[in-house]
Amino acid sequence: MLRGIMHEMNILVTVAVIAGLYVSIFLVAEKVFMQDED
């Protein structure tokens, strides 16, 4: 039971980290493109 919960938590943490990386990359890219337009 405990192992199953830990495994699910690890998957959630991994998904959250990957999502955070994609969001940060998107925000940085958006800032760069905005600067280029200026």
DSSP string, the chain: -HHHHHHHHHHHHHHHHHHHHHHHHHHHHHHHHHHHH-
Calpha distance 14→8 (Å, rounded):
10
Residue-wise pLDDT tens digits, 1-38: 678 888 889 999 999 999 999 999 999 999 998 887 66
pTM beyond 0.75, yes or no: no
Q: What one-letter code names the amino acid at 10?
A: N
Match 């925000």 to its residue by tokens. Answer: 27
- For residue 11, what pLDDT is reported? 94
- For residue 35, what pLDDT is reported? 84
Range of the domain at 33: 1-38
Cα R_g (the chain), whole angstroms = 17
Number of structural domains found in the chain:
1
